[in-house]
Structure 1
Amino acid sequence: MSKQIITDALLADILSVSRSTVEKWKIKGKIKPSKNGQYCLENLQHFEPIKSMINSQWEKQQNINPLRKYQSIELFAGAGGLAIGLEKAGFGAIALNEIDKDSCKTLRLNRPNWNVIEKDISKVNFANYSSYDIDLLSGGFPCQAFSYAGNKLGFEDVRGTLFFEFARAIKELKPKVFLGENVKGLLNHDQGKTLATIKTVIAELGYVLIEPKVLKAIFYRVPQKRERLFLIGIRKDLFKYTNFIWPDPFFRIMTLKDALKKGDLYDQDCPPSLGQNYPNKKQKIMEMIPPGGCWIDLPEDLKREYMGKSYFLGGGKTGIARRLSFDLPSLTLTCSPAQKQTERCHPQQTRPLTIREYARIQTFPDDWHFTGSISSQYRQIGNAVPVNLAWALGNQLVAVLNQIENRVEHINKRVNIAENSGQMNLFDFYSTV
């Protein structure tokens, strides 16, 4: 593997610090750039995220194969980012639930064989799938404020929230493993009360919750600075047979160039597609922004005019009038690339990112097409779990299910031996395993 050279900006992204912090480290001698101002990744192993990249077991984890076709059900499926990643890892979807009509059309268009249930989740009868041995239940349930009027802070107290519906599916389907996805803000939502209640409910349902973790998409072959919280639970009767490990990071960071140009991620340049346009006034403003820049790079008089009252507020507000850079990962995609607070301008052309460019930044395959209006397509893509991140997580879930599968096979063999030998009755046998 050739030595990797990174810039100040990329180092800041990897370590989740500001560029001014990187500058301070240089002054203090904590990091030492080469003559051209860049860094060799191997010389920065005293930073844990970089050490993890260099010592990664990524390729080994990517080659984990399911011992059989594992069956899954997905809730809040959206446009399919999580579902595609799990499919690539080896899961077969028994059903996918989604209420948005355009997202359902997208799923059906790309996977005509998928059983897409287009309805309010509260109206879904999970008893219809009780005959299936569900290995995985997954879904990104929206985070809502919970009422703490109840005393037990358990399952009944979260009625009326979409997490309750997710929990109801767990209770009725009893999957071996579940995967929940949410915004990282859930960690501290309502001063931590929301997550505490979720943990209580999960324990009440008979599952061991792996300590929730925020994963940064840039570490999993996704050219985007997206962070999401993941919750993984394993049924208590199976937990002792498992050893879940979060996926290791990829050994390099993918940039916008990797998304839009032929290279390691895609075998051709990004194909043309529809997209939004800027109004004339904004077009003239955006033409003045350099790659990687934002409103701060405008002349002083235009800064004040464009920002209005926001000019005097605190914070960098660097998402405003933002032009992306080919040399860095994209900012987190939102539901629109052209709104004032969340501009995502192409690095060379003065226009918002197109639908296909949006999809590539989320690592959707080029043959995955979206339905509905332009605004709806942006929203579907912006709300999705990046496919490659889902794939990396899916591989580790497959590893856990393989562990369970191996243990069950081992127990069955011992049962057969015990039965055939007649030397141990089954009651005594099961007390030993």
Structure 2
Amino acid sequence: MNQRIFSLSETAEILNVDKETLRRWDNLGKLKSIRNPINNYREYRKEDIVLFEKGKIYFNEKPSSIINTKKIYKSIELFAGAGGLALGLEKAGIEHILLNEIDKYAVQTLKRNRPHWKIEHSDVSKIDFTPYKNKIDLLTGGFPCQAFSYAGKKLGFEDTRGTLFFEFARALKETNAPVFLAENVRGLLSHEKGKTLEIMINVLNELGYHVFKPQVLKAIYYKVPQKRERLIIVGIKKEFMGKINYSYPEPNEKIYTLKDALKKGELFDKDVPKSSGQKYPKRKKEILSLVPAGEYWRSLPLEIQKEYMQKSFYLGGGKTGMARRISWDEPCLTLTCSPAQKQTERCHPEETRPFEIREYARIQTFPDDWIFEGSQSQQYKQIGNAVPVNLAEAIGYSIINLLNDINLIKK
């Protein structure tokens, strides 16, 4: 499309917002208009429109690595793991001034790949965050979901002590970060019939934060060739309530497949490099060799189904992850901490073997030069637990837009 200037109505249609929203964004500086010299009407430049995800999709352009940031935003990340979330946020333009992780192999991975990052290898409960008060813009982390004891408690901030969520909340209280980003498994929505998440939100409110409605993001809509889901929770200091809103990243229309992950194409500029990987025992390999790409145990001959499934053969449910071979033309199923678990099998589409380390990393959209430390099983665990890098990058852009709005208000 050669057109470079768009009217208020055209821009509203492209970004799927109403005209009043565009006028408000103009006043806030979120999307500045230019004035038509003849009639003084608001008009918008294409290069400004494509800073928004819907604009990129409309013009069929790749996301820019440059967001209209007013400053470099600084973050602290807890429970950093092997760096999937941190790397994605870094690609979006966020600077990490501290990362915390307790697993020594994940720490080795972080130090190997980003020697300039300050990495605290310790129990998070031992870290004093008060030196960072009012010095960061963002606190992030994927705290493990832990149950609370409800008996006789109001379950405020102090009552969550002893859980890793408490440590996340404590870091937030001590740093006074204007924005936080938490990620977790989808199951947190229904954990204890939703009561666990409700308590977490109440505690965050108690600490002076407004929590936007948590949302499950499907990684396949964010340039990740994997059917992975993560629950995203974003909040801001209450002083900014009513002045700005947070928009989760807009989904991409294109879905990427296993072929996109492992072969040269849009996601990677070369085929996946060879690496080490787990092997199947002899009989398991013989059985899985009979499963076509995209199929699972039900495609086996009946007697072999019974041999492989054993007692599970006679129980209900499809068990579609068992003896599962992924096909080239579908996104991979969610990776686990081991590629050869019987309940969640992830077999290569052509070769009868589990995915190798570098293949696992590609499916999580880690770059090929991101090296994982530790034993083979430790490497699989780190990759399987990570937030996909491309999903984290998309979230990062949305967080930067939010921080830009806060920065405008502060000024």
Q: TM-score, normalised by structure 2?
A: 0.84
Post-superposition Cα deviations, 1:256-315, rounded to whole Å, max 9, x if no partner, equal 000000000000000011100001011101100100111111100000111011111111
Partner of 2:209: 207
Distance in 1 separating the partners of 2:374 and 2:288? 28
Is 1:64 the equivalent of 2:67? yes
Partner of 2:177: 175
Post-superposition Cα deviations, 1:43-74, rounded to whole Å, max 9, x if no partner, equal xxxxxxxx999769985686523221100000
**1:321–1:343 Cα contact (<8 Å) kept:** yes
Post-superposition Cα deviations, 1:195-244, rounded to whole Å, max 9, x if no partner, equal 11011101001000000000000000000000110100111112333221
Is 1:73 the equivalent of 2:76? yes
Question: 1:150: how far off?
Answer: 4.2
- Secondary structure of 2:294's partner? coil
1:136 to 1:57, Cα distance in 2 relative to 1, 3 A: farther
**How many residues end up aligned between the 2 structures?**
359
* Root-mean-square deviation over aligned CA pairs: 1.9
**1:148–1:157 Cα contact (<8 Å) kept:** no
Partner of 2:109: 106
Is 1:124 the equivalent of 2:127? yes
Letter in 2 for 1:219: Y
Distance in 1 separating the partners of 2:266 and 2:317? 36
- Secondary structure of 1:214's partner? strand
Distance in 2 separating the partners of 1:402 and 1:122? 31
Bigger share in helix: 1
- Secondary structure of 2:348's partner? coil
- Secondary structure of 1:211's partner? coil
Partner of 2:320: 318
Letter in 2 for 1:74: E
1:61 to 1:161, Cα distance in 2 relative to 1, 3 A: farther
Partner of 1:377: 379
- Secondary structure of 1:180's partner? strand
1:120 to 1:399, Cα distance in 2 relative to 1, 3 A: same
Partner of 2:157: 155
- Secondary structure of 1:166's partner? helix
Letter in 2 for 1:353: F
Aligned pair partner of 2:100 in 97, 101, 107: 97
Post-superposition Cα deviations, 1:78-114, rounded to whole Å, max 9, x if no partner, equal 0000000000111110100000000000000000000
Is 1:299 the equivalent of 2:310? no
**1:294–1:320 Cα contact (<8 Å) kept:** yes
Partner of 2:232: 230
1:383 to 1:58, Cα distance in 2 relative to 1, 3 A: farther
Aligned pair partner of 1:253 in 252, 255, 259: 255
Aligned pair partner of 1:219 in 221, 232, 243: 221
- Secondary structure of 1:278's partner? coil
> What are structure 2's unaligned runs of at least 5 residues?
2-53
Distance in 2 separating the partners of 1:356 and 1:277? 15
Q: 1:248-287 to 2 correspondence within 5 Å? A: 248-287=250-289
Q: TM-score, normalised by structure 1?
A: 0.80
Distance in 1 separating the partners of 2:346 and 2:97? 36
Q: 1:335-414 to 2 correspondence within 5 Å? A: 335-409=337-411
- Secondary structure of 1:284's partner? helix
Distance in 1 separating the partners of 2:257 and 2:108? 31
Partner of 1:6: none
**2:357–2:380 Cα contact (<8 Å) kept:** yes
**2:179–2:234 Cα contact (<8 Å) kept:** yes
- Secondary structure of 1:230's partner? strand
